[in-house]
Structure formats: structure tokens, C-alpha cells
Homo-oligomer: A and B are copies of this chain.
């Protein structure tokens, strides 16, 4: 087991409800001897991958790590464009928006824009969600061929329901969820991808369920499809074409 793997495992601990770690926590979570955990954290501290929080013995990612997400964001053309688009959409409708990518069966928000409405959904970039259970995730899954989806989700009631949902998304071009992840919160998502790098991102708006009429929702969907369509055209996304033929809601 190389030290790099262990370092990566430590870094993986951060994220969902874990903002800092101690030696014993690492020892326990990775099943490492105390000694190894201690030395590992020490090395990571010395290289700047971790830093101590205010002289205590808790560790968090070092500030050198803060640059990395920026590098990721700008390394991809689609992501940059999606960020700009969601920012505009978020401003236009006052709702919180996300840009997300899929990682296996999970989706990961890589940018968020908090809405301007008094009642808005809080933004929390970095959270992971199960792809099959949110609008964002399904919009990305819908870009896969049914056979690829089947590889991710073995046969069963879940897979069956998902297949029909994805079929609808492919037909209409957008994805919708109502109070699925969070009670009282609905979400709309549209995905675009770069055929060259084969990277796909999802543009997503989330809003309070009771605050948006069906007419407003359709306005948002149109705006999102417009924005995403612009990106799709710019990067030459062949999969997006189908969405242009979507049936009016």
C-alpha cells in the first residue's frame, strides 16, 4: 500500500459531513495502526495537503487544495459555459442553481449560485447525491445508452422505473423532480456534454415547491433549454439535438 493511496483515502474522508479529522479518526476509518496514521497526517501536513485547525489536533485540507477546484472548473469548456449559464438563470428567476457532474451512480455539484428570492434553497457545493434520485442525476443518466444505464443499475424495480423516467427525459430534453431529495423543494435539470472530452454537465435550478406555478415552471424549462442549447451548439453536442424536438409542455 503506497503512501499516496493512503493520502488519497484520507482526502476522500472529507466532504459529506466531515470537515476535519484527527489521527485516531483516520486510524479507525482507514483501519490503519495509530503509528501509521500519525506519520501519514504528519507527512500530509508537511506537504501542505492538510493543515491543523488553530493549533488543535484536528486537520482539514490545506489551503493549497483550494486552488484545485478552480483548475478543474476551468479545465473544461462545457463546465465554464455551464457556470455562466446557470449564473444567469439563477439571477433571472431568483432561484438557486447548480452545475453538476456525474461520478458513477452519484452526482456532484461543482458550482452553485444562490438565488435572490427571499425564500430560496440553500446552496451547498460539494455534496454528493444518488444520481437516480434527483433531477440533475437523471438528466445526466439520460445521456447514456440504455445498455450503459443497465450496467450501473442492475435489473429490478428501481431500474425499471428509472428506465421510463430516462425515456421521458430523452424525449422532452429536461428532467424534473418534485420534493424528492428535500421536502418542499423541486428541481429542474438539463444536461449538455462535450463530445470531444466526453464530459457531461447538468444545469439545474431548485426552488420551493409551493412558490412556482406550472406556467412559471414551463418558462424556466424553456429558458434552461435555450441556455443549454446554446452550449450544446457551441461545443457540438450531438445528444442534445433530440431535445430540440421536445413536445411543448
Chain A residues engaging chain B, CB cutoff 8 angstroms: 2-5, 7-8, 11-12, 14-16, 18-20, 43-44, 46-49, 53-56, 58, 60-61, 63-72, 74-76, 87, 91, 101, 103, 108, 110, 114, 116, 124-127, 194, 196-199
Q: A70-B126, A91-B116 are in contact. Are A64 and B8 (CB under 8 A)?
A: yes
Contact of A66 among B49, B53, B110, B199 (CB under 8 A): B110
Would you list 24 pairs from A and B whose C-beta atoms are within 8 A, ordered by A residue?
A2-B43, A4-B47, A4-B49, A5-B46, A5-B47, A8-B47, A12-B67, A14-B67, A15-B67, A19-B71, A19-B72, A54-B194, A54-B196, A54-B197, A58-B75, A61-B71, A63-B103, A63-B108, A65-B68, A66-B69, A66-B108, A66-B126, A68-B69, A71-B126
Query: Contacts of A61 on B, CB cut-off 8 Å?
Result: 68-69, 71-72
**Cβ contact within 8 Å between B47 and A60:** no
* In the bound complex, CA of A82 to CA of B2 (Å): 39
Residue numbers in B under 8 Å from A126 (CB-CB): 66-67, 69-71
Tell me the dominant secondary structure on chain A's binding face: mixed
